[in-house]
Amino acid sequence: VKILLLLLILGTAHAICIHEKLLSPEQIQQLINENNEQIFINLAGKFKLATESRIKALNYRQKFLVHLSPKSFRQKSNKTEVPYYYFEDMNKYYKKIKSHLATNNYSLEKIGTSIKGKDLHVIKPNSLDPLKKTIVMLGRQHGDESTQNWIIEGFLDTVFMGKNKFLKDFQVIAFPMINPDGADAVSRYNSNDYDLNRSWHKDLDKAKDEAKIILDHLYSLNFQNLDIKVFLDMHGSFTEDFIYRVDKDFKDKNFFSAQQTFIDTLGKYDPFQNGYSETSNGAGTMSRIVMIKSFNLNAITHETPRRMKETDSYYRSVSDLKKQGEALVETISEIY
């Protein structure tokens, strides 16, 4: 039993932009008393804020998967930090880029709505070319990871308005904001309390909410038959920039070294990423892991600190963040 428990803890210990732990109700209460972090308890797949009454209702002999996040990450932004990116900012950006998309025979298409009724969009070519090198980008699965949308703007600016002739060789399918409800609520989760990056499954029936809408759309594009070079999932960490990749034995040596090449090349163009990586085989319901396991894609997770105050050592400006998006275009151009 002890070994099983240990395996269970190890199996859920990988953290992607959240600290995950298996804790007893007593341990959860202790953490609340320490009062530094907000704690969400996984109750039948939904993440509920740990309140005293909820904790009292838990079986004291059981351990529960919890997510811990500093309280400050859920506050509205203030003047001394990189502006927090809301759904409204996304829509402003769509207005700005729309004519540039049209010039390049691309369009912005509504593919569904969030639980609270906000539009979900994809940016894609008017007609997909199955022979063209393809990049897929997911943005903002976790609503409170705000900085990634500035990076995504930089990426899209470079692709559609830059001097780089990227679209001669490549085509892009981008879902810039998957969790607009979470973005506006400054919450990791969607409006049904699901962690969308634990809500993926190759069987559409088992995928949830907004993740299901995105996957459904990918299937409608026959994405399995496209020549996808890299599948980028854009996230926000606590304090560091890095790329999440799988370990050497997850697939094979070639796959591992292909991911290493991406990490090293990005490090040349992006001084913040600087070649940093973390190895994590993740949870089976993360988009990155589903894309690697079920579709054999080179999927990676891009992490940049989600909130940045001027006093933070990792602080940078919005224009620096946009340059990180430009660095992705340079990296892809060089490798593929």
Which parts of this chain interact with Zn ion (CB under 5 A)? 17, 142, 145, 235
- Which residues on adjacent β-strands are paired with residue 190? none
Please report how close the Cβ of residue 236 comes to Zn ion at its closest, in angstroms: 6
Please report how close the Cβ of residue 195 comes to Zn ion at its closest, in angstroms: 9
Query: Measured from the CB atom, is 55 or 299 closer to Zn ion?
Result: 299
The secondary structure of 82-102, three-state, reads CCCCCHHHHHHHHHHHHHHHH
Please report how close the Cβ of residue 135 comes to Zn ion at its closest, in angstroms: 20
| Token pair of 7 as six digits | 């395996």
64-70/119-125 β-pairing? unpaired
Please report how close the Cβ of residue 208 comes to Zn ion at its closest, in angstroms: 16
Please report how close the Cβ of residue 142 comes to Zn ion at its closest, in angstroms: 4
CB 125, CB 294: distance < 8 Å: no
Query: Measured from the CB atom, is 124 or 198 closer to Zn ion?
Result: 198
CA distances, 201 to each of 98, 225, 283, 298, 307 (Å): 32, 18, 11, 17, 29
How large is the C-alpha radius of gyration of the chain? 20
CA distances, 266 to each of 99, 124, 169, 177 (Å): 29, 24, 19, 23
Query: Measured from the CB atom, is 235 or 307 closer to Zn ion?
Result: 235
Query: Measured from the CB atom, is 171 or 281 closer to Zn ion?
Result: 281
CA distances, 285 to each of 40, 57, 183, 202 (Å): 18, 27, 21, 9
* Sequential DSSP letters for 211-238: HHHHHHHHHHTTGGGSEEEEEEEEEEES
Query: Measured from the CB atom, is 233 or 326 closer to Zn ion?
Result: 233
Query: Measured from the CB atom, is 150 or 170 closer to Zn ion?
Result: 150
Please report how close the Cβ of residue 237 comes to Zn ion at its closest, in angstroms: 8
